[in-house]
Amino acid sequence: MSADKYRHKWWGWGPEGIEYDMESRPALWPWIVETGQFGDDPERLPPIEFAKIALPPSRLPDVLSRALKQAVGGGNVREDDEDRLIHCYGRSYRDVARLRAGIVSRAPDAVVYPGGHDDVVRVMKLTGEHGASLIPFGGGTNIAGCVEAAEDDQRPTITLDMRRMDRMLVVDVESMTADLEPGIFGPQIEAALAPHGLSLGHQPDSFIYSTLGGWIATRSAGTQSNVYGKIEDMVAGMTVVTPTGVIETKPLPAASTGPDLNQLLVGSEGTFGVITRATMRVHPIPEYEDYRMLLFPSYRDGFKALHESVREGYMPSLARLSDEAETGLMFAAKRTSKGIERLLERPVKRLLEVRRYGRPAALVVAFEGPRRLTRELRRGAMAIFKKHRAFDLGRGAGESWKESRYDVPYLRDFMMEYGTIADSLETATVWSNLIPLYEASTETLRRIIRDVTGFEGYIGSHISHLYQTGACLYYTICTRYKEGSTPEEVIEQYAEIKRAATETFVKCGGALSHHHGVGYEHRPWLERELSERGVASLRQVKDALDPDGIMNPGGLLG
Amino acid sequence: MSADKYRHKWWGWGPEGIEYDMESRPALWPWIVETGQFGDDPERLPPIEFAKIALPPSRLPDVLSRALKQAVGGGNVREDDEDRLIHCYGRSYRDVARLRAGIVSRAPDAVVYPGGHDDVVRVMKLTGEHGASLIPFGGGTNIAGCVEAAEDDQRPTITLDMRRMDRMLVVDVESMTADLEPGIFGPQIEAALAPHGLSLGHQPDSFIYSTLGGWIATRSAGTQSNVYGKIEDMVAGMTVVTPTGVIETKPLPAASTGPDLNQLLVGSEGTFGVITRATMRVHPIPEYEDYRMLLFPSYRDGFKALHESVREGYMPSLARLSDEAETGLMFAAKRTSKGIERLLERPVKRLLEVRRYGRPAALVVAFEGPRRLTRELRRGAMAIFKKHRAFDLGRGAGESWKESRYDVPYLRDFMMEYGTIADSLETATVWSNLIPLYEASTETLRRIIRDVTGFEGYIGSHISHLYQTGACLYYTICTRYKEGSTPEEVIEQYAEIKRAATETFVKCGGALSHHHGVGYEHRPWLERELSERGVASLRQVKDALDPDGIMNPGGLLG
């Protein structure tokens, strides 16, 4: 298949053969050993052998198998173990932990690769007629549990892998819109738009391995969301195949025609239907771009600087302010091979020594757009940053960050080899609540990790995705688990940490999720988040569009 | 009542005593006489006497009347003819024409003024228990038919006038959010925010007489929507009382927690429930502001200039490009008393004479924000405008436009006194379709007005509300109707014109409405606009939230 380069290895992130580049980061391993309270030669725990994983036998009736093959072509219906295993889970910690341990109690009974809208309509019809259920699947990078079969669903489960639907159907250069199929991966989108001088400008951390449809289904956020918005802000129109018919929305710049159907469909996580086309707002490739890294004496200083720049109207296109702990990891993880040491080390030392900064906080910031206007924007923002004692490490450091920004999931997989729980958690809140929420969440994580594992672990955080009214708060955690735990016990330790953090987010005014989605991970909190009546009304929409509940029964609405 | 200054006269726009200032616009009347093909001394047709209007008797059962009075206080339940009449209709041409002719076949049976969220909950409960129906009512400026009782609804109808709920409940200066009650009028919002250095920045043409709740319920757009968005972009969280319970959404900067409930509730035109609180995104009062007026040799030149400025990233905060016909009206309607003649007349003459511009097209444009950044933005935009042969009439002309921008509805009422049909129609489309849609719509209007009335009429248009992907296309029309027509025949002539224009909008890829809403005026096209399955799903939401159909049965979903 043409998109095989975007296919994950069965046990982790990214394709076979690509792993975290530890060699060019000489400071990282010693930092890990110290932070992780590892001994001298920590034990490695590789994944189980593929051959040893026993998938539950496929429930797909022969008659449905034949009908599906007739509908989409024989080669596009897969019932082999490898395809089924790759489509069992997303790529959350819980997912990868189960895969590495070979825990698979439920798998899709077939994986179908539709070639276009009409194929999807046919598969939807067959799914309904044969009493099966259907899970749309993009790149499989989801970490909230949005693509997994429901444990208690007795029906045959078909996973619909959308990667063959990867075309740009129409581009309207004048209107700056592009009609795209949902199975198109991040790099494919940019490659299709670039010859027209256009860009979508949506770069989530999963960019290389995730699809437009997956982004839309989960309300994904790209690094430059400050100026281009989250994916929901980029959707102008959609075609969605539901079990009861096709919904089409007109690709208008704006409208006043009742509730916004696009925003009812965006974020529906495959529970209402299958997206087969999206008209996306795109923009010219920026004339000018400036990535750089700055250091603040403390996270609080950086916070004040960011908040003021937003308030004063100087919104950078990207901003990512790391707390002191995450800044420590960034420095430890810096590569030596690209001259970044020279760029980073000297000023850092100078800061630490001369200015008596304690533990600095790094801000990665970018400005992009028309040259003169963007320079003026940068000037204004930098003036505010400097007022708050920012030290500018320059564009080299920013470019280095940009180059390695998609690497973190590989580090997660690397760390899992050493018996750890490693996860990312995220929320969002208004500016006035960001520091209180940060303090409460960090305290919760510190306590729960210690209580559950007996280790201190690593807890790093950053603020990113700025809005006029607030921002996203993002955590990366890593801790050894209790020694001698079974895989099931490890997953329960993970779940305790995840539960405590999520509870704190929701209790303290944070979003249940800012861009990872709901899935089964966050579903228990959904009624507290959207109010009981709010969730009930979504369930009614679900009942109306999908009366037999065939769409993604393990997902958003259960 | 404190908000009585925002109350319309029973037969038209704005409070008693305020009318269109024709005296200080000496060129306007001759222009009207010529354009309108009026004779020397056209007949005036004043509204019917109030006393002659026979309202249908109130159907409100005594027991419900007593219960409502107990729930919200006796003085807040009105059953008198004047209150009922004022709440019969919005302020569309059709509405005002009926009022002026005394055509009232259906009126609310009581008008209730709730004092807060709990009052609304109580009234909702009583409405359900007593088998009545309920229509939320803000300023009553709606021109799509969103506040009118359904002709065939046999139940008692209660109109809920929200104007007592006009408080700012919370302002969070750090997060730039404000919790507002829905009955607060435009000027009240700005007055409440100004002491905190903040502004909502939402100025629709109805600003003075319309409420936040009405804006949210109909997806209103303010003149500065280019930078602050439409009202739906400003809503962070809401409380909505539905017949089956209260929906509350968290006021987050962004979230990934399923479909966006806010966007399901915004634009629901009172058919799902009653908004009792909205957390709005606000912003600092701009440090710098620059309104100005420019002339282009033609509408096409202006269009190219605007499109290029958006494409190149130089988005003005306000832009309103009038076609040649509307520019003619603007010049005719200029005041002499404020020195604008001097500002306009000389350069216009110079243009016309020296540069041989045919009929120029006026662009009103504004830039606002932080001083230096905004100046750079203006510089970039003006450079593009000048490339397309813009002649800068300067800030005085822009300020004059700003001062009189809320006057147009008064001119509509003035013209109705002379036996005319006068209406505004609006749509939106992508950039590549704007000129084709403009041509098709103008041609349709020209043909239908001639066919239906026998007159040429006035057809003026402008582009406003710019987006990356397109803009709003707005028409103002005025024509004499067939001489000797009865009021019913006049309304049918109006309806024929409205139908033909709407049909062209929808057929040619325009929005059914960009910011006026659906109501009964646009409902016949709703399924073509949102797809059959799309409307069906909204009806299911309606059935779920309001199973007995008590909310605004004459509105959006019928």
For B385-442, write each residue's pLDDT tens digit: 999 999 999 999 999 999 999 999 999 999 999 999 999 999 999 999 999 999 999 9
Say whether pLDDT at B340 is over 70: no
Per-residue H/E/C for B478-492: EEECCCCCCHHHHHH
Shortest alpha-carbon distance between residue B539 and chain A (Å): 9
Contact B260 A255 (CB under 8 A): no
pLDDT band (50, 70, 90) for residue B342: low
Single out the catalytic residue among A458, A474, A475, A520. A474
A236 token code pair: 């102008």
Q: What is the pLDDT along chain A (558 residues), one digit of tens a residue?
A: 456 788 999 999 999 999 999 999 999 999 999 998 888 888 899 999 999 999 999 999 999 999 999 999 999 999 999 999 999 999 999 999 999 999 999 999 999 999 999 999 999 999 999 999 999 999 999 999 999 999 999 999 999 999 999 999 999 999 999 999 999 999 999 999 999 999 999 999 999 999 999 999 999 999 999 999 999 999 999 999 999 999 999 999 999 999 999 999 999 999 999 999 999 999 999 999 999 999 999 999 999 999 999 999 999 999 999 999 999 999 999 887 555 555 556 656 666 655 666 789 999 999 999 999 999 999 999 999 999 999 999 999 999 999 999 999 999 999 999 999 999 999 999 999 999 999 999 999 999 999 999 999 999 999 999 999 999 999 999 999 999 999 999 999 999 999 999 999 999 999 999 999 999 999 999 999 999 999 999 999 999 999 999 999 998 998
Q: If you count residue pairs, one on A and one on B, with CB atoms under 8 Å apart, how many are there?
A: 319
Say whether pLDDT at B455 is over 50: yes
A176, A267, A312 member nearest B259 (Cβ): A267
Interface with B, mutate which of A225, A257, A262, A303 (most B CBs under 10 A): A257
Chain A residues with beta carbon closer than 8 angstroms to that of B376: 372-373, 376
Chain B residues with beta carbon closer than 8 angstroms to that of A174: 307, 430-432
Q: Is B6 a catalytic residue?
A: no
pLDDT band (50, 70, 90) for residue B304: very high
In this prediction, residue A1 carries a pLDDT of 46
Interface with A, mutate which of B257, B315, B371 (most A CBs under 10 A): B257
In this prediction, residue B352 carries a pLDDT of 61
Contact A172 B540 (CB under 8 A): no
Contact A545 B538 (CB under 8 A): no
Q: Are A147 and A135 in contact (CB under 8 A)?
A: yes
Say whether pLDDT at B206 is over 90: yes
Please state the separation of Cα A50 from the chain's center in Å.
26
Task: For helices B299-311 and B371-387, give the axis angle rounded to 10 degrees.
Answer: 140
Backbone φ and ψ of A359, nearest 5°? -105, 115
CA–CA–CA angle A79, A84, A90 (5° rounding):
155
Q: What average pLDDT does chain B have? A: 94
- DSSP for B285-339 reads PPSEEEEEEEEESSHHHHHHHHHHHHHTT---SEEEEE-HHHHHHHHHT--STTS
Shortest alpha-carbon distance between residue A23 and chain B (Å): 36
For B38-92, write each residue's pLDDT tens digit: 888 888 999 999 999 999 999 999 999 999 999 999 999 999 999 999 999 999 9
Chain B residues with beta carbon closer than 8 angstroms to that of A246: 531, 533
The model carries a pTM of: 0.96
In this prediction, residue B1 carries a pLDDT of 46
Burial class (CB in 10 A: 0-12, 13-18, 19+), B528: middle
What does chain A come to in residues?
A: 558
Give dist(CA A3, CA A369) in Å, integer: 31
Contact A541 B540 (CB under 8 A): yes
Query: Percentage of residues in chain B with pLDDT exceeding 90?
Result: 92
- DSSP for B232-295 reads HHHEEEEEEEETTEEEE----S---SSS-HHHHHTT-TTSS-EEEEEEEE-EEPPSEEEEEEEE
| The CA-based dihedral angle spanning residues A333, A334, A335, A339, taken in that order and rounded to the nearest 10 degrees | -170
Contact A538 B259 (CB under 8 A): yes
Give A125's contacts (C-beta < 8 A, 6+ positions apart): none
Chain B residues with beta carbon closer than 8 angstroms to that of A249: 530-531, 534
Contact B431 A373 (CB under 8 A): no
For B468-524, write each residue's pLDDT tens digit: 999 999 999 999 999 999 999 999 999 999 999 999 999 999 999 999 999 999 999
Interface with A, mutate which of B279, B309, B469, B531 (most A CBs under 10 A): B469
Contact B284 A312 (CB under 8 A): yes
Contact A258 B269 (CB under 8 A): yes
Backbone φ and ψ of A369, nearest 5°? 150, -160
Single out the catalytic residue among B113, B291, B458, B474. B474
Tell me which residue of B527, B546, B523 sits closest to B535, measured CA to CA. Answer: B527
Contact A256 B373 (CB under 8 A): no
Shortest alpha-carbon distance between residue A276 and chain B (Å): 15
Between B337 and A194, whose confidence is greater?
Answer: A194
Task: For helices B487-507 and B93-101, give the axis angle rounded to 10 degrees.
Answer: 170
Evaluated on CA atoms B195, B198, B202, B203, the torsion sign reads: positive
Shortest alpha-carbon distance between residue A441 and chain B (Å): 17
Contact B256 A531 (CB under 8 A): no
Burial class (CB in 10 A: 0-12, 13-18, 19+), B224: buried
Chain A residues with beta carbon closer than 8 angstroms to that of B219: 255-257
Give dist(CA B69, CA B78) in Å, integer: 9
Chain A residues with beta carbon closer than 8 angstroms to that of B307: 174
Chain B residues with beta carbon closer than 8 angstroms to that of A171: none
In this prediction, residue A39 carries a pLDDT of 84
Say whether pLDDT at B128 is over 50: yes
Contact A469 B259 (CB under 8 A): no
Interface with A, mutate which of B227, B235, B256, B310 (most A CBs under 10 A): B256
Say whether pLDDT at B338 is over 90: no
